[in-house]
Structure 1
């Protein structure tokens, strides 16, 4: 057990970009309680970090090429506290802000079809989504005592993706079996939170891991049962359900005891608004067998309409007057949804009673506007999607011109450059990534879940032969950098897994080979560079957005990715790499 203010040094094995190193990190990752100098326990002069990045020697069958993609630096300002890979369907689930580049439409609820229909910031048409926590400069001192008090009053919980509002049309013949398993999911959620209550006022990574592992196994069986029931009743095999298995630790109760916004807000960025619409899937009765396909087509149309509207919010920012969004986006969206909901009702009525009240689900709202002071909507505390009286209050949307969240305050540092590279393998040729592959690297919660998946990412330009698990202090003229390597080996079958990790693996650090049963794919590396004033670095005044229990731990750095390259584009990437070329 270790709390985010205990400042316990912990020795951990860190897997670096292409090798292994042993490093030390302070489990708090937090800020000092006395003065700005106490910030420095999380900072290190990069010259004091020994070179630790070692690339395996390429063999005769190595794929030595590379392919770079230019998706910009989030110049359009697409920020969000969603995490569509690790926490699908959970609004504000990250509790910290991400930079998003590439796919313009993505939200936590986006379907694969929505992603495929989106526009992109990438110059070559790549519609993939790349996203990572923002870095902020905050010259005020965060109090470690404040975080400790907040933790002492917090009962940890689990957060699970909702299954009810992500289901396809459920055939009437399967409705009872599906509802029974959904109720079992709810009971499992409640039981897990009863066990988590034993960790009140502290962070117990062992307890958290045990609860999540048991819950994962239970949910995997129940969700597979739901999918099987729907398929057996003629509803077809559901897709993407495996992404809803994994739950997460939740210390968001700490937010109530931590300061929200800085006193010296300055004019700057505007919030990335999102359109939120009432869920429909969880409101439908059992659907007559002959109407299932038609209902599913219309549910997909509702998803597509919402995705288009969210993309338009990004691409039309600053246009029109104060009523532009209502008149140009929300109004037409309501009309389209009304027509689709009517078609769903008619389709069901041909073989059963027409569901009542669907028309009330047509209207949508915009959330995420700056300085509204309103809580976000749709932050379900359990599989049913509706928060219970004992569930934590919904998190606020990002507030003010700096898009601040509880304990994630200060001005956002925009990247000076973002380099996206697809790289080869030291021992074999690569095969194309499958479309819609989900991938993540690092761990946003090494304190509350343990450091096994965390990775050192921090360095400075000119020093990429070394990576640190602390914030770097760079020499004059050198940029602060984050080098984030994704797994380069794939199980050859799945685009996701119950824990969002097992379908991928890192190559062997010494040889570069993939483990048995896995094949090499283009290995993604994202290098993010920042121009941060050197006095800000030496005073320890920049930090990563984080979950509350991590308190800005630099070792909690992470990055997420969904591959939405076309099959043709991904084949082009693989061919370039296998031929040993340098392409873009």
Structure 2
């Protein structure tokens, strides 16, 4: 799957309201009518950024979870193994073909009943401009060309971007208020209505290369829960070690209980875990937020709204289409996607947005709007061709790369178990949710990403390799 190039450009008209503190009720993407390009003046400076207080998100999340958990018993658990994913793809196609005109009217009304998490450890566990109807003043801004911010594609978390042309090679309009002294904090916040797409408008794709005679067809699922314990922080010890708030957006963690910006091999090995079978690996990703709720409104990085905890988290290790896999070394660090793809360009982007029941339709650059009863899915595949020597590299990418189009690893690399994260969410109806992001990325869906560090005991890793190479589902 290859991601399409995406710029943070947008429409030529926008609703502008008077200055004041940004609040999520008028930062709902469904209320926006413009998508200005990234602008240095629209983003907080490094001195303005500060560490988040994750406690507020956790308290608000507990209230939301009580409501969502009441719905869980009404839904049948979804199967999460490899064979079921293939069945789901066929089912999604059948569902798509059978939808009636009435069902078409429900497209974009995502967020049905909650789905139980079969992998969770029991112990761990209106698209329109509506500013005017709110009584707020509206003005039409004057579009003007603006250069996009770019950064070294290998630098995912630190450094200041420099000014250059749009990553797509074309200029994108930037909306600026016509009234001097007035600025809508939400105007530049993102995401925008055009960052969303109905799942029915996403073309079906073949997600995986067909396994050949020498391929490894098995899989292993590490069951680590859904971060029910509320392990969150805005750190990233892989790309910004020793830095607090190095990510400038909040991460959800499962697995290792100690992970933060100061984690080391030794601290990870000594910590507890939410995973079964002694898997102390750390798995983390930026949170998703409900933008209809006024929470975290004073966040300096613009990550406003209530945190949505994934209703299910599937961490599946899979084989290679052309060869057997070898054990990955302990403490190897692997990242997928590019947190700054909106300004870097999409060379390293790896976002995958879908809906339950439609897993054969995956959008690389737009948030998906799902029918009622279908959950938003984030499908994040990790590279799986290891150089055989290093557990990390200067850009955190060259020591482990993706297989080629046919599924074979490049010469000089060997296949290791391929991690696929599948995160399922019940989201508010319409284009009203967003992934946490660096402020200049404007919550662009193409910036979705995730991180992993292997802290499995050697015996467990050997078991994973055996399951995959023998064609078993463990």
Q: Is this a same-fold pair by TM over 0.5?
A: yes
2:440 is paired with a residue whose SS is coil
Residues 25, 555 of structure 1: 8 Å contact kept: no
Shift of 1:22: 4.7
Greater helix content: 1
1:68 is paired with a residue whose SS is strand
Equivalent position of 2:138 in the other structure: none
Q: Which of the numbers 379, 395, 402 marks the counterpart of 1:499?
A: 395
Shift of 1:401: 7.3
Unaligned 5+ runs, structure 1: 1-18, 141-398
Equivalent position of 2:370 in the other structure: 474
Q: Alpha-carbon deviations, 1:165-213, whole Å to 9, x = none? A: xxxxxxxxxxxxxxxxxxxxxxxxxxxxxxxxxxxxxxxxxxxxxxxxx
Equivalent position of 2:232 in the other structure: 79
Matched, 1:436 2:311: no
CA distance in 1, matches of 2:452, 2:415: 17
Residues 37, 540 of structure 1: 8 Å contact kept: no
**Mapping of residues 118-129 of structure 1, within 5 Å:** 118-129=271-282
Matched, 1:566 2:457: yes
Equivalent position of 1:136 in the other structure: 289
Report how many aligned residue pairs link the two structures. Answer: 301
1:484 is paired with a residue whose SS is strand
Equivalent position of 2:78 in the other structure: none
Residues 60, 427 of structure 1: 8 Å contact kept: yes
Residues 53, 467 of structure 1: 8 Å contact kept: no
Shift of 1:26: 4.1
Residues 61, 428 of structure 1: 8 Å contact kept: yes
Equivalent position of 1:454 in the other structure: 349
2:275 is paired with a residue whose SS is coil
4+ residue runs of structure 1 moved beyond 6 angstroms? 399-403
In structure 2, relative to structure 1, the CA distance for the partners of 1:69 and 1:549 (3 Å cut) is same
Residues 28, 447 of structure 1: 8 Å contact kept: no
Shift of 1:476: 1.2
Equivalent position of 2:404 in the other structure: 508
Residues 40, 540 of structure 1: 8 Å contact kept: yes
Residues 65, 576 of structure 1: 8 Å contact kept: yes
CA distance in 2, matches of 1:480, 1:26: 22
In structure 2, relative to structure 1, the CA distance for the partners of 1:22 and 1:402 (3 Å cut) is closer
Shift of 1:24: 5.3
**Mapping of residues 352-363 of structure 1, within 5 Å:** none
Residues 439, 562 of structure 1: 8 Å contact kept: yes
CA distance in 2, matches of 1:400, 1:462: 31
Instruction: Give the alignment's TM-score, normalised by structure 2.
Output: 0.60
Residues 404, 410 of structure 1: 8 Å contact kept: no
Q: Which of the numbers 511, 524, 547 marks the counterpart of 2:419?
A: 524
Equivalent position of 1:368 in the other structure: none
CA distance in 1, matches of 2:414, 2:347: 23
Residues 27, 553 of structure 1: 8 Å contact kept: no
Unaligned 5+ runs, structure 2: 17-30, 35-191
Shift of 1:405: 5.0
2:346 is paired with a residue whose SS is coil
1:113 is paired with a residue whose SS is helix
2:266 is paired with a residue whose SS is helix
In structure 2, relative to structure 1, the CA distance for the partners of 1:60 and 1:408 (3 Å cut) is same
Matched, 1:117 2:257: no
Residues 27, 447 of structure 1: 8 Å contact kept: no
Which structure has the larger Rg? 1
1:573 is paired with a residue whose SS is helix
Shift of 1:575: 0.6
CA distance in 1, matches of 2:10, 2:412: 38
Shift of 1:451: 1.9
In structure 2, relative to structure 1, the CA distance for the partners of 1:456 and 1:53 (3 Å cut) is farther
Instruction: Give the alignment's TM-score, normalised by structure 1.
Output: 0.49
Residues 255, 275 of structure 2: 8 Å contact kept: yes
Q: Which of the numbers 36, 40, 51 marks the counterpart of 2:193?
A: 40
Q: Alpha-carbon deviations, 1:560-579, whole Å to 9, x = none? A: 00100011111110010000
Shift of 1:532: 1.3
CA distance in 1, matches of 2:270, 2:298: 28
Equivalent position of 1:427 in the other structure: 322
Matched, 1:576 2:472: no
Q: Alpha-carbon deviations, 1:56-100, whole Å to 9, x = none? A: 221111100000011110100000000111111111010000001
Q: Which of the numbers 188, 202, 220 marks the counterpart of 1:67?
A: 220
1:448 is paired with a residue whose SS is helix
Residues 295, 304 of structure 2: 8 Å contact kept: no
Residues 36, 540 of structure 1: 8 Å contact kept: no
In structure 2, relative to structure 1, the CA distance for the partners of 1:495 and 1:21 (3 Å cut) is closer
Q: Which of the numbers 534, 553, 556 marks the counterpart of 2:447?
A: 556
Equivalent position of 1:58 in the other structure: 211
